[in-house]
Structure 1
Amino acid sequence: MTTLYLFVFAQSHDEFRLPELSSVAELNGIPYTLPLKPEDRDPTRPFMVIGLGKEDHAQILARRCILIKFVSVYEFYGQGSTYEELHAANRASRPLWEKFIPDTSFRFLVTSYNHKIPQSRQREVIESFSYMDFLGPINMKNPDITCAVLEEYFDTRGTTRSKHQGDGNFRQVFFGRLIEEGTARNLIVKFDVKKRSYFGNTSMESEISLLMANQTLASPGKIVYDPFMGTGSMAYPTAYFGALVYGSDIDGRQMRGKDKKSPGVIRAATQYGVASRIVDLCTFDVTHNPWRCGELFDAIVTDPPYGVRAGAKRLGRKRELSDRQRQLCEEHRMNPSSDDQPYIPPTRPYELSHLAADLVLLARYLLRPGGRLVFFLPTVTDEYEEVDIYTMLCEGMEVIANSLQDFGSWGRRLVTIRKTTSEKYPSPTFEPIHEPKVDHVPAHKDFREKYFQGFKPKEERGASKDSSTTPV
């Protein structure tokens, strides 16, 4: 039997809300149903009534979903556009609350979204529920049950109003019994980058890294890989949820930091009590990786560099050596000098659309069937089309979530791709690098150049490029 529960969501990262809920529900084997009407499952609204089989399921979701607010999950008794409608719905739900009538201590809360209700009207609202005839004592500090009235008002940000202007002109009013206070949002403070013992200029903010960890279905017994580890922002929440983490990066200095005694990533992991779950950290280029067998990982989670704060690199030379340079290199290799410094291999830029496509190929090889690839992809807002995400896909991989974090002229999309095949694939060669022959050019192609050109229209970028190459 399905019971309805009222969830109150934090008003941040609206598009991430349902994918996170779906992931946490899948992780815990929780079936659920969403409202039928599109307006009732609008992700920009704070309240949503969700059908679940058990009260325990609602508690599990509240304890793991980062986007569920603190005082947040209620057994749903009714809603309405007026209090008359609400009371009618609540009377119809009497079988749910009549067991609390005889001897249960209780309290009532009246609160709202986008509005402050005057105390005088709060008392009127509470008194309007007198027909429930609760006989137990009122206890405002530690009651057996808390009944809450929640009024939803339209967003009035950007307008100037008097203190209680518009009071009572709500969009909907909801009523229910509090069953769980969401605790997962406390982790945002726990993993705050500013309080971390080791971080860098590309470290991911804690709320986003926690959302990414939930998308991987991180839990005890899982093995998760970050191929662009950097300072380890995705490793800490993933390990905190119980997974074992393996990390690599083409530049080992990002993982090590300047302290020679202990790598920076390990120091930060120790701060969170998860150092034992960091399996290893290795320095290599993912296109020249050491993996000799596939299906090693349950998830791959990463924030690939896309050239704004740090550019993506891969092994190789920007320009091929001349015959004379090759000859000198060969002579030096045969007769090295005694004061030679350690060899640092040359690197070249790694264009974002190539990187994304290669990452999906690598994930298909390394993931176990059903495993997930979770990563951020920056896109130009005016140029983005839904098909952009599908230009990087390969056989056996499907997109299951695509959520936008909007920055105005550009945004970054948290993409979750699942491996749907059990067929074994060979290790990808990532060669040769060439422009794919496709009819559609995705908006994330050459993102770095577009970013530093201020996201000019295609025509202006083309004209600027032509003028810069015209001889004087």
Structure 2
Amino acid sequence: MKFLVVFAQAHADFRIPELQSVAELYGFNIGLLDDADPSRPFMVLELTDESHARLLARRCILIKSVCEFYARGATYDEVHERNRLCRPQWEQYIPDTSFKFVVAAYNHSIPQRRQKDVVESFSYMDFLGKIDMKTPEITMVVYEELGMLSDDDKHGTTREKHEGDGEFREVFFGRLIEDGTARSLMKKFDVKKRVFYGNTSMEAEISLLMANQTLASPGKLIYDPFVGTGSMTYTTAHFGALVFGSDIDGRQMRGKEKRPGIIRAAAQYGVDQRIVDLCTFDVTRNPWRCGGLFDAIITDPPYGVRAGAKRLGRKNRRTKTEHDSRSRPFQPSERPDDQPYIPPTRPYELSALAADLVRLARYLLKPGGRLVFFLPTVTEEYAELDLQTFLCEGMEVIANSLQDFGSWGRRLITVRKTTHRVYLPPTFDPEGRREECEAEHVPAHKDFRQKYFEGFKKGRQSGTPEEVDSPQG
């Protein structure tokens, strides 16, 4: 069976990965046609059952509606010719089914008079049921798609009202099965309405897309090692998963009130009982003593634009005198106040963080588990080979979606654990395998913070993040 999917006008690169993830979650396959183009708002899929189309409409954030597909063509003559050939699909509705027609457009607007003409052109279908514009039993939908406007023609969001036929990129026709309901979750998880958030909180739509990539569902245990203010925690918990979070800075999770901020926000969404725990530690010095715990790891690692990644340690190595003094017997000193001790930290370079995160995921994930994280890259420098610099044995990239900001972008990377082999905990060697990879290829995400504050200038000198004399955003 073929179905027409109508997408929301956002995040085109994320559409197919989300479809495939939701299909895997519910255990069915999606057939993509050879001409499937994720940049277009319409896509025809092959599914084995109508119930699968409904599942996609209810779970995919980027779907506006799903229709049973009847016909497509560059002109209405082609559409009508092909629609007549698929009469067995719609003839069951002829005798006594109430109906209505909807004519919609992409990239242009349709005058009311021409909408009527379009509807009347389908009169050969001979529907005998009642026309019901409020609560029809079936809704037949026509979608007109025109090509993108050229830069010279752009005066607004749509073209002049189109009066004729034959100038379409394509026209689609089908029966509406279900409107997408998952997009309403964007309002529910709107950061502006949240009781606890910070300057690094992820926007609701992206958080929901990430949750779908993890296959979040009841019975799953999901971990966020850079949980911050918990944006991904709420969305994964909403879909039924149990969530564990950690961060090197406990203040990010707690906020200023007695009850931790993440727990307060989770209670706002009714998912506080699905937060297993929140702990403060450095992922490179973590307390995990056995692997294979989690079904998925989801995170947005800090990359230095609004907040820099940190790991325990000092920026400058101790001198020999300092080392000698540390070997002497411990002598407690009085603190001027009762504030807790905050250990020193040093910057955590992004390419090192990405490689360590993948190795940590290989240790902590169950076989088949997923790691979903954002990786910022410089647009002109990015190459597919960049991903190989942080991959390791037993881990493969299954999705790579770009959110483009012009000179740079961030890529939502989905990595799956493909092995049942039991690995030892990673050592997080600051040198190790990463230098071997970078000797052959320097990835576009290396020293990203420095490149960002330098405006992505060509011919820059490579340096360490702490050498950049620029304030954080």
What TM-score do the two structures reach when normalised by structure 1? Answer: 0.93
Counterpart residue number, 2:54: 59
The Cα shift of 1:166 comes to 6.6
Counterpart for residue 68 of structure 1: 63
Corresponding position of 1:314? 311
Cα deviation, 1:177-227, whole Å, max 9, x if unaligned, reads: 111010000011110100011000000000000000000000000000000
The answer for the alignment partner of 2:293 in structure 1 is 296
Map 1:300-379 → 2, pairs under 5 A: 300-329=297-326, 333-337=330-334, 341=338, 342-379=340-377
Map of 2:124 onto structure 1: 131
Counterpart of 1:77? 70
Give the CA deviation at 1:157: 6.8
What CA distance in whole angstroms lies between the structure 2 residues aligned with 1:429 and 1:442?
Answer: 22
Q: Which range moves more in the overlay, 104-113 or 245-254?
A: 104-113
Deviation of 1:111 after TM superposition, in Å, equals 1.0
Aligned partner of residue 151 in structure 1, secondary structure: strand
Q: State the partner residue of 2:148.
A: 155
The 5 A counterparts of 1:73-222 are 73-156=66-149, 158=151, 159-160=154-155, 163-165=160-162, 167-168=164-165, 169-222=167-220
Matched, 1:439 2:440: yes
Output the CA distance in 2 between the equivalents of 1:348 and 1:338.
23
2:2 and 2:170 mapped to 1: Cα distance? 17
CA contact (8 A) 1:203 1:231 kept: yes
Counterpart of 2:471 in structure 1 is none
Out of 267, 272, 276, the residue aligned to residue 269 of structure 2 is: 272
Corresponding residue SS for 1:334:
coil
Contact 1:11–1:44 (Cα < 8 Å) also in 2 = no
CA deviations on 1:105-159 (whole Å, 9 max, x unpaired) are 1111111111111111111111111111111111011011111111111122752
Q: Percent identity?
A: 66
- Alignment RMSD, CA only? 1.8
Alpha-carbon distance between aligned partners in 2 of 1:233 and 1:335, rounded to the nearest angstrom? 41
Question: Conserved in 2, the CA contact under 8 Å of 1:23 and 1:214?
Answer: yes
Is 2:6 aligned against 1:5? no
Q: Residues of 1 paired with 2:451 and 2:430: CA distance?
A: 25
Report the equivalent of 1:402.
400
- Note the alpha carbon deviations across 1:8-53, whole angstroms, 9 max, x for none: 011211110000000000000111211123xxx1111111111111
CA distance in 2, matches of 1:15, 1:212: 13
Range moving further from structure 2, 383-392 or 165-174: 165-174
Listed as ranges, the gaps of 5+ residues in structure 2 are 469-473
Mapped partners of 1:387, 1:301: distance in 2: 23
Give me the whole-angstrom Cα distance separating, in 2, the residues matched to 1:344 and 1:67.
43
Deviation for aligned residue 1:76? 0.7
Asked whether the 8 Å contact 1:266–1:278 carries over to 2, the reply is: yes
Post-superposition Cα deviations, 1:381-415, rounded to whole Å, max 9, x if no partner, equal: 01000110111000000000000000000000000
Q: Given that residues 57 and 179 in structure 2 are in contact (C-alpha distance below 8 angstroms), is that contact kept between their aligned partners in structure 1?
A: yes
Q: Distance in 1 between matches of 2:75 and 2:162?
A: 18
After superposition, residues 211-250 of structure 1 pair within 5 angstroms as 211-250=209-248
Structure 1 equivalent of residue 284 of structure 2: 287
CA change 1:44–1:415 in 2 (3 A) is same
Q: CA deviation at 1:460?
A: 4.1
How far did residue 329 of structure 1 move?
4.9
**1:176, 1:375 → 2: CA distance?**
37
Distance 1:226 1:335 in 2: 36
* Aligned 8 A contact 1:397 1:417 in 2: yes
Separation in 2 of the partners of 1:23 and 1:374? 12
Question: 1:117 touches 1:167 (CA, 8 Å); kept in 2?
Answer: no
State the distance in 1 between where 2:351 and 2:85 align.
56
1:276-305 deviation per Cα after TM superposition (whole angstroms, max 9, x unaligned):
000000000000000000000000000000
Within 2, Cα distance between the matches of 1:370 and 1:353? 24
Q: 1:166 to 1:392 in 2, by over 3 A?
A: farther
Question: Does the Cα contact within 8 Å between 1:351 and 1:446 map onto a contact in 2?
Answer: yes
Counterpart Cα distance in 1 of 2:242 and 2:96: 48
Q: Normalization by structure 2: what TM-score?
A: 0.93
- 1:50 is matched with 45
Q: Which amino acid in structure 1 is aligned with residue 135 of structure 2?
A: N
Q: Is the 8 A contact 1:248 1:284 kept in 2?
A: yes
> What's the secondary structure of 1:140's corresponding residue?
coil
Amino acid corresponding to residue 145 of structure 1 in structure 2: I
* 2:41 counterpart letter in structure 1: P
Which secondary structure does the structure 2 equivalent of 1:363 belong to?
helix
SS of 1:395's equivalent?
A: coil
CA separation in 1, counterparts of 2:460 and 2:384? 24
Partner in structure 2 of residue 456 of structure 1: 457
Q: Write the distance in 2 (CA, Å) between the matches of 1:324 and 1:44.
A: 62
What is the alpha-carbon distance in structure 1 between the residues aligned to residue 460 and residue 450 of structure 2? 13
Q: Distance in 1 between matches of 2:398 and 2:127?
A: 47
Cross-structure match for 1:252: 250
Q: CA deviation at 1:165?
A: 4.8
Tell me if the contact between 1:115 and 1:167 (Cα under 8 Å) persists in the aligned partners: no
Contact 1:193–1:206 (8 Å) recurs in 2: yes
Shift of 1:333: 3.1
Contact 2:202 2:231 in 1 (8 A): yes
Separation (CA, whole Å) in 2 of partners of 1:461 and 1:411: 21
- Conserved? CA contact 2:114–2:163, under 8 Å: no
